[in-house]
Chain A
Amino acid sequence: MPLWLFIFLAVVAIIGAFGVIIQRSPVHCLLALALTLFDIGVLFIGLGAETVGFLQIIIYVGAIMVLFLFVIWLLNLQTEADGGGHLALKFFGSIAAAALAAELFVFFSKAAAPTARMGLVAKDYGSIELLARMLFSDYLVGFEVTSVLLLAAIVGAIALARRTPAELVRSGSTVKSGSGAR
């Protein structure tokens, strides 16, 4: 990946990430987050991880972001009056985050040979075939457990978000007396 392309993508990613935490309207935060996630997907592709990069764009930008959007619209959230939070909290939160960034920079510069360039890799590096081969051999147990996790998440999400019949009666919106009859 050429340096100029990386710098462009990095600037876009950081602008998008700041947009997430600075925008007042949740929908604008979400759009900034989608931009950042798309950008990270492009970075994955630039790093030679094509499959994961496209999965990132399809799953995150395509599916998870739309889920967030549905929830924001469902709850009909309005723009916050003052951006929320207290001034002291913002101040100390920013300082803590800056300290964390500095710490990570020091750690990475000592641990990860910062000037190392991309070495040559096999021609099928990052291909869907190699990824699938690893998923179904070395990581087979984790892959199968993932399906159980997804099933548990589906059941859990439905159990959390649905209303029990007792709640429906209490809120006066049962099928018999509901507003649908009007």
Chain B
Amino acid sequence: MTTPLGYFMGLSAVLFAIGVAGVLIRRNIIVMFMSIELMLNAVNLAFVTIGRRMASMDGQVIVFFVMTVAAAEAAVGLGIIISLFRNRETVNADELNLLRW
């Protein structure tokens, strides 16, 4: 018995919500960044599932692009974190309040 495609969408929704919870709850910038990656992957799962439903490859091409952007984002984001840590000696988002009025 094959799995209904709706189950995959449900799993995608759960993973996305867990990622949102991670960004809201955790104060460690690196863990928040990991939660963002988790959300990206949940959306990727939805793309592949819908692509399979429509028997088209477009969803997979979009996933390919999302992966590329995620790699670029990880490189730049981790560079920002390193330079932030060098200047402020912390990765706690509560202590990084330079942009807060």
A83 to B92, CA, bound (A): 11
User: Which residues of A (81-112) have their CB < 8 Å from a CB of B?
Assistant: 83-85, 89-90, 92-94, 96-98, 100-101, 104-105, 108-109, 112
Q: Which bracket fits the contact residues of B?
A: 35 or more
Q: Give chain B interface residues in 1-24, CB to chain A under 8 Å.
A: 1-11, 13-22, 24
Known: A126-B57, A134-B58, A149-B72. A47 touches B48 (CB 8 A): yes
Give the secondary structure class of B's interface.
Answer: helix
**Could you say which of A3, A44, A160 contacts B2, with CB atoms under 8 Å apart?**
A3
Assess whether A169 is interfacial by the CB under 8 Å rule: no
A60 surroundings in chain B (CB, below 8 A): 37, 41, 67, 70
Asked whether A175 is an interface residue with its Cβ less than 8 Å from the other chain, the reply is no
Q: Tell me if B44 and A40 are in contact (CB < 8 A).
A: yes
Query: Complex: how many Å from CA A29 to CA B38?
Result: 11
Instruction: Give the number of residues in A that approach B within 8 Å (Cβ atoms).
Output: 88
Shortest beta-carbon distance from B39 to chain A in Å: 10
Interface residue? A181 (CB, 8 A): no
In the bound complex, how far is the Cα of B46 from the Cα of A49, in angstroms?
12
**Contact in complex: B41, A37 (CB < 8 Å):** yes
Knowing A104-B13, A114-B9, say if A97 contacts B24 (CB, 8 Å): yes
Q: Which chain B residue has the least Cβ–Cβ distance from A154?
A: B75
The B27-66 residues at the A interface (CB cut-off 8 A) are 27-28, 30-31, 33-35, 37-38, 41, 44-45, 48-53, 55, 57-61, 63-65
Ranked nearest first, the 10 interchain pairs of A and B with the lowest CB-CB distance are: A114-B6, A93-B24, A97-B21, A153-B72, A101-B17, A104-B13, A160-B79, A21-B22, A84-B27, A157-B79
Instruction: Contacts A10-B11, A94-B25 known; list 11 others, CB within 8 Å.
Output: A21-B21, A60-B37, A64-B71, A68-B30, A75-B85, A84-B26, A97-B21, A116-B4, A125-B57, A139-B61, A156-B76
Residues of A at the B interface (CB closer than 8 Å) are 1-3, 5-6, 10, 13-14, 17-18, 20-21, 26, 29-30, 33, 36-37, 40, 43-44, 47-49, 51-52, 55-56, 59-60, 63-64, 67-68, 71-72, 74-75, 77, 80, 83-85, 89-90, 92-94, 96-98, 100-101, 104-105, 108-109, 112-119, 121-122, 125-126, 130-131, 134-135, 138-139, 142, 146, 149-150, 152-154, 156-158, 160-161, 163
26 CB < 8 A contacts A-B: A13-B11, A17-B38, A21-B26, A37-B37, A49-B52, A60-B37, A71-B30, A74-B82, A85-B26, A94-B21, A97-B18, A101-B16, A104-B13, A108-B9, A113-B6, A114-B9, A115-B4, A117-B3, A135-B64, A149-B68, A149-B69, A157-B75, A158-B79, A160-B76, A160-B80, A161-B82
